[in-house]
Amino acid sequence: MAGLAKAVPLAVVATVALGGCVNVTAPDKPIVIELNVNIRQEVIYRLAAEADRTIEENKDIF
């Protein structure tokens, strides 16, 4: 129990000493997020699904 009694105050002192001061400031320029989203894959997937459906509905044409 004596070891624990010494360890707790030491842990508190270490936490306070390492806590320090944190400054957070806003940037002077706006944050720009560039999103280059490729929607081509989704369009091709939709067209493929529609084509499959059309072929299934009109088997006599194909």
- The structural domains of the chain, with segments of one domain joined by +, span 2-57
SS3 6: helix
Residue 6 sits at φ, ψ, to 5 deg, of -85, -30
Q: How far apart are CA 5 and CA 11, in angstroms?
A: 11
Residue 26 sits at φ, ψ, to 5 deg, of -75, 145
Give this prediction's pTM: 0.31
Per-residue pLDDT of the chain (62 residues; tens, 9 = 90+): 555 566 667 766 666 666 667 788 888 999 899 888 776 666 677 788 888 888 888 888 76
